[in-house]
Amino acid sequence: MKWSQRLTSVVTAVCFVALVALGVEYVVHADWSGTTTAREPHGTGSPTPSPTTSQQVSPDPQGGTISARPSLPSSGPVGRARPHRLKPVVTPTPTPTLLPPPTLDFVLTTFNMLAASHTAPGGTHPGYASGKVRALRAAELIRRHGSDVIGFQELQSVELASLRRHTDLDFWPGFARSVRDPENSIGWRQDEWTAVEKHTIRIPYFDGVPRAMPVVRLRSRSTGLEAWFANFHNPAEPRRFQSQQRPRARATLIESELANRLITRTGLPVFVTGDMNERGSFFCRFTGRTPMVAARGGSNNGRCLPRGSGGVDWIFGSQGVQFFDYQVDDSHLVDITTDHPVVTAHVRITGDVKNPGLPGTR
């Protein structure tokens, strides 16, 4: 019976040891069950670690390497990265800078030169110097007034040749072979303007005989703004030619139709200069048929009210142009140059607003 108790104790101890051994084996097996063993030939180095895990590498008794189990973050299991939503960045649209409309200031002049034939021997004005001498004086007057565009009447060849030599003006028609009649020409400063279009229109003169008179479209070199200029000389009533009212009325009608056509078809400013050989009556007829205004002032809104001085020499512009500093020069230099005053006006024209970045602008 005593032996049986000793045997029981031994058996119990053996069982306990066996159970301990089984428990250790189980723990060791569980600890290594999640590892990956990578074996490579000797000398090949370690496998490339995953970019998302940190690894501890220990030598393998067989000569290869063993990748340790990835060390996980302490905060919890590694899962798929949760996408981070970025708030859209709104870039404010800059407020565009509005460009001002282009403007152009210039001096417009009407100048009856007194034809050289009138002051030549046997002419109607023998007290004046020759046309060549008077043209030099005319060049000086043009410089004094700072004239940029000039409508000339009675500009004969000798006077035109002298002005070409002593000014920087270009002329139409001037000595153009296609016209062969320079008496009514338009001159402009070549450094300020360039001609875009050149035309002539036939206007009734003495006894209704037509003469070619100039119409030119000029472009400002500095601003690109354009305008039309027309220059006329309607018939007077000298001793040789009486009763010229009918040709003058016909001339006014043609001139009015031209102004309306240029305004309607092109939308550009239109200017008319000339010796119309009429005062208020021409103003009333011309402004009654056109949207033209006189540089000297006046109105025609159902009741015609001419105003200002200048006699028969006129400067007109289409509505929207600005006239200021209107002058009638009858100084001594003018008196020894011609039998007409030299009439000038400062002009301002304004173009369209051009803002290429904004809708609805050009």
Give per-residue pLDDT as tens, 293-312.
999 999 999 899 999 777 99
Question: Is the pLDDT reported for residue 16 higher than 90?
Answer: no
What are the backbone dihedrals phi and psi of residue 108, each rounded to the nearest 5 degrees, phi first? -110, 135
Contacts of 340 (CB under 8 A, 6+ apart): 111, 112, 114, 275, 311, 312, 313
Instruction: Tell me, yes or no, whether 38 lies in a domain.
Output: no
Instruction: Tell me, yes or no, whether 109 lies in a domain.
Output: yes
Domain that holds residue 279: 103-350
If one counts the domains in the chain, the total is 1
Q: Give the three-state DSSP class for 323.
A: strand
Instruction: Give the integer Cα–Cα distance in Å for 51 and 54.
Output: 8
pLDDT at 215: 98
Question: Is the pLDDT reported for residue 259 higher than 50?
Answer: yes
pTM confidence score: 0.72
What sign results for the dihedral spanned by CA atoms 299, 300, 301, 305? positive
What are the backbone dihedrals phi and psi of residue 357, each rounded to the nearest 5 degrees, phi first? -85, -5
- Residue 328's domain is classified under what CATH number? 3.60.10.10
Nearest CA to 289 out of 320, 324, 326, 250 is that of: 250
Q: Place 56 in a pLDDT band, splitting at 50, 70 and 90.
A: very low
Question: Is the pLDDT reported for residue 175 higher than 70?
Answer: yes
Instruction: Give the integer Cα–Cα distance in Å for 193 and 349.
Output: 14
What are the backbone dihedrals phi and psi of residue 31, each rounded to the nearest 5 degrees, phi first? -70, -30
Instruction: Tell me, yes or no, whether 283 lies in a domain.
Output: yes
Instruction: Tell me, yes or no, whether 117 lies in a domain.
Output: yes
Instruction: Tell me, yes or no, whether 50 lies in a domain.
Output: no
Residue whose structure tokens are 């024209």: 349
In Å, the largest CA–CA distance within the chain is 182
